[in-house]
Amino acid sequence: MAQQQHVKLAPRDRKVKILATTGPSTADPDVLRRLFLAGVDAFRVNMSHGEHEVHAQTFANIRALEQEYGRPIAVLADLQGPKLRVGKFADGRATVAHGANFTFDRSDEPGDATRVELPHPEIFEVIEVGQRLLVNDGKMRFRVKTVSSDAIVCKTEVGGVISDRKGVNVPDAEIPIPALTEKDRRDLTFALEQGADWIGLSFVQRPEDLIEARHLMGGKGALCAKIEKPSAIRRLAEIIEQSDGIMVARGDLGVELEPQEVPPLQKKIVNMTRLTGKPVIVATQMLESMIESPAPTRAEVSDVANAVYDGADAVMLSAETAAGDWPEEAVMMMDAIARQVEHDEGYKQRVRMLDTPPDATTADAMAHACMTIADTVNINAITVFTNSGSSARRVSRERPSVPVMVLTPSMEVARRVALLWGAHPIATRDIGSFEEMIAKGKRMALRHGFGGSGSKLAVMAGVPFGQSGATNLVHVVNVQGDELEGYED
């Protein structure tokens, strides 16, 4: 069978990945292509907005790009999650004065400047005196004075204009609602049918939320827990254990916490996730001003740079690419910041400040050896053969100084791996012998731009071949320029 011809694309000159959100600004396939060429490694489809028909076309456009360039692209379908909202007002809105009493109750009568419906009985069951209710992304703040079965009377700490169906946050209590609404279940089924590689689960509060979602996924795709609730922080280790990856969703996290609390928590979440080898994404408001401006603020540049220095696997663009006026420029800026940081002479030391000791397994020892080889010997890349992606995660966790070329017979695994720090996934035919492994590793390095004649590779795999979890071999090989001739993969 003749090998399919793809447009040749050089490897990315950076290890951190860029995750970009699709939306009205990317509806044109040509815009999507320009974002990919500018540096996007994975796309986020936000299920909170848009119809399934529109999202289906987005999936098709991304897969067409993948075919055109022969590079696996991860797609993360982000579920909306349970959104708590107030009811409606008689005039569509009302002005609540600072210091005034304001009541959230169970009556469906239109609201006014003194009260409004809160159609969520679960809140009434757990809210306590002294706790807070935040409305409209935290712009309005209320402190609970009294609680009954049908009314929560609050003192208005920060007043203002409140309008129909504005969102409510309850930062001080764990609300006994499932992480998946009926809409989420429909969206989850649709996303998996479209071949989503990752599912983002919003407003995770407890590890049980992930268990329910994984059961519904039925073994398809990977599960990313979005950390945006203080209650999730309290059980972070358990949530990481139950997930395949973590997103630091700083938007809602910043609403429910004081602003100064978010940066140290971001570092804590990144570090705890990195220790497991699972990918961690830093998201929300990274280049927010570029929604309307072709240039970011200096503070935003520093924010992106710090996430890269901290060793995050991916940094995410939200409205910047989904609905902004400068989507391509936002990607180019994020790419430029990441490359500048990674070329800083102090970057390797900074990104390894977190000690990630290998577990007492042969596979972890081999992954650690690959990092040491890359630091000691002048190699161009680490080549990892994997059926499940586990070996790739182990090597990526070590944050080696060279790219990780991940060869797998599974396109699904290749796409999921596309979110891993430093990983360059390639879907290729399986191997059956040691000799074939070495030969294919060399050919793939030459074909995909990871070195030329005279370069070196560290090759990691498991013998016997085809068995997941059997990684037990690291081999350093020399690449010759004529080894590409006469082979198809």
In the residue annotation, 284 being an active-site residue is answered as: yes
What phi and psi values does residue 274 have, to the nearest 5 degrees?
-60, -35
Residues in contact with 101: Cβ distance below 8 Å, sequence separation at least 6, in sequence order = 114, 145, 153, 154, 155, 156
User: Among all chains, which residue has been given the structure tokens 């590890």?
Assistant: 207
Residues in contact with 387: Cβ distance below 8 Å, sequence separation at least 6, in sequence order = 408, 409, 410, 413, 430, 466, 467, 468
* Cβ–Cβ < 8 Å for 135, 166: yes
Taking Cα atoms as reference points, which of 25, 24, 15, 13 lies closest to residue 51?
24
Q: Give dist(CA 410, CA 161) in Å, integer.
A: 53
Q: From the candidates 12, 14, 17, 44, give the one annotated as an active-site residue.
A: 44
* Cβ–Cβ < 8 Å for 158, 140: yes
Q: From the candidates 226, 229, 250, 393, give the one annotated as an active-site residue.
A: 226
Q: From the candidates 33, 34, 63, 85, give the one annotated as an active-site residue.
A: 85
Residues in contact with 164: Cβ distance below 8 Å, sequence separation at least 6, in sequence order = 86, 87, 88, 89, 92, 93
In the residue annotation, 21 being an active-site residue is answered as: no
Helices and strands of the chain, counted as H and E runs: 17, 21
In the residue annotation, 428 being an active-site residue is answered as: no
Taking Cα atoms as reference points, which of 477, 487, 484 lies closest to residue 381?
477
User: End-to-end alpha-carbon separation of the chain, Å?
Assistant: 9
Residues in contact with 328: Cβ distance below 8 Å, sequence separation at least 6, in sequence order = 31, 34, 35, 38
Q: Give dist(CA 34, CA 154) in Å, integer.
A: 50
* Cβ–Cβ < 8 Å for 233, 254: no
In the residue annotation, 44 being an active-site residue is answered as: yes
Q: From the candidates 276, 284, 356, 408, give the one annotated as an active-site residue.
A: 284
Residues in contact with 381: Cβ distance below 8 Å, sequence separation at least 6, in sequence order = 402, 403, 404, 405, 424, 445, 450, 451, 457, 458
What residues act catalytically?
Answer: 44, 85, 226, 284
